[in-house]
Amino acid sequence: SSDVLIGPSILKQTSEIYRKLRGTIRFVLGNLHDFNPESDAVSYDSLPLFDKYILHQLVTVQEEVDSNFESFQFSKVFQTIQRFNVVDLSQFYLDVVKDRLYIRGSDSFERKSCQTVLKHMLDTLLPMIAPILPHLAEDAWQNLPFQTSSKSVFLHGLAEAKSEWKMSGADLQELEILRSVRSEVNRVAEIARKDKLIGSSLEAKVVIRTDSQELHTILSKYSESANGVDELRYLFICSQVDLKEGPAGEGVTEIPEVGTFRATIERAGGLRCARCWNYSDTVGTFGDHKELCDRCHPVVQGKKAVANVAA
């Protein structure tokens, strides 16, 4: 073995990792302020696929961390948690679900299903980080906005990995493919921003062209959803998505064993909703709230009804 290295650069890097994890926990706690697990939790079977996917990632990380703890590989524990926090949460899941948390009605299925997942995140992550970040874990535990069975995270013990959260088969493969497509969409959207074609990603219409029947079928499956969650436009954080079948042309991206595709960015059609900032042809069609889209209008109407009852 060698000596443990330490210095200004190492301390700065470690501090940044800590702050990112602390920021994630603060975000999750802040979005659970009105969540009651007893009455608001959504069962696993009823969760949207996007939510099930991040729980799959969570339990995979949990199994890896448990194995590293048992073999005393504490540096790998820290690396695994850090990678999950940055790659799976900050850059992916939490980025996607902000729309649901901020725009959907406070009692909507879309919001409650997301809050259910966030609650599971805290139940699993806080005991997981307690041995290496005790003050952060205990501080967060003492500020949980709901009742727990343990007064301290150190009395709670490590959460048991739930094997039923592990995904397999077609659903998992499709979601991994969608995530690969999202990475390319983010890349071309950034180029479009630099070229002043769009400002925010919500000003974009994403056009995806592919000659792969398999990829087109998968993308078409998520072009709309009955649950209002498992849709490409929410995954890509854009206003509209247009799928085209045919030769992708130059500058294609290949997904091994699936096919090639080309993603391009255009300006979204319609007007911008004053509430969610998505562009939609339905903005201007409601007489009482011409500035709202078809998604925000019923939410605002519901709030108005509650206010009238209270008055």
Q: What pTM value is reported for the model?
A: 0.92
Span 280-300, mean pLDDT? Answer: 94
Residue 3: its pLDDT value, please? 80
Q: State how far the alpha carbon of 265 is from the alpha carbons of 55, 108, 109, 196, in Å.
A: 31, 31, 31, 11
pLDDT tops 90 at residue 38: yes
Residue 1: its pLDDT value, please? 60
pLDDT confidence band for 310 (50 / 70 / 90): very low
Residue 52: its pLDDT value, please? 97
- pLDDT one-digit tens code per residue, 173-206: 999 999 999 999 999 999 999 999 999 999 999 9
- pLDDT one-digit tens code per residue, 101-145: 999 999 999 999 999 999 999 999 999 999 999 999 999 999 999
